[in-house]
Amino acid sequence: MGNISTHFSREEFACKCGCGFSAVDVELLRLLEEVREHFGKPVHINSACRCETHNKSVGGGERSQHKYARAADIVIDGVHPDKIYAYFDSRYPTQYGLGGYPSFCHIDTRSYKARW
């Protein structure tokens, strides 16, 4: 399928169950390119879009932004997830959904600020 931006391909966003759901929110893609440029290292997507079935199987919430292709759980080699969280939080203090976890950072493009 090829790249859909400078550093990302559609396959990286596909639902992990293999159902074929691989939509990408344009704003999310912009944020991932931005954080890639900021840290100067590849961004690895652990999870992006999820179909309803896969979202349930991984314990995703009923209102999970992953179901709408507006969320990504990301890792950057050599960058602690707290630093990724801090970058997004300082850059967008009144926007988006941002979740900090021990092994990854969640970012989503919901229409209101949410933090966890």
Q: Is the pLDDT of residue 1 over 90?
A: no
Residue 2, in any domain of the structure = no
Mean pLDDT of 64-77: 98
For the chain, give the longest Cα–Cα distance: 36
Residue 80, in any domain of the structure = yes
> How far is CA 20 from each of CA 12, 35, 46, 80, 113, rounded to the nearest angstrom?
12, 26, 16, 31, 30
Residue 3, in any domain of the structure = no
User: Which domain covers residue 85, as residue numbers?
Assistant: 10-115
Residue 106, in any domain of the structure = yes
Residue 5, in any domain of the structure = no
The sign of the dihedral angle between the CA atoms of 79, 115, 59, 3 is negative
Q: Is the pLDDT of residue 102 over 90?
A: yes
Residues 6 or more apart from 62 whose CB is under 8 A from it? none
CATH number of the structural domain spanning residue 103: 3.30.1380.10
What total of structural domains would you count in the chain?
1
pLDDT at 68: 97
For residue range 31-64, list pLDDT tens digits in order.
Answer: 999 999 999 999 999 999 999 999 999 999 999 9
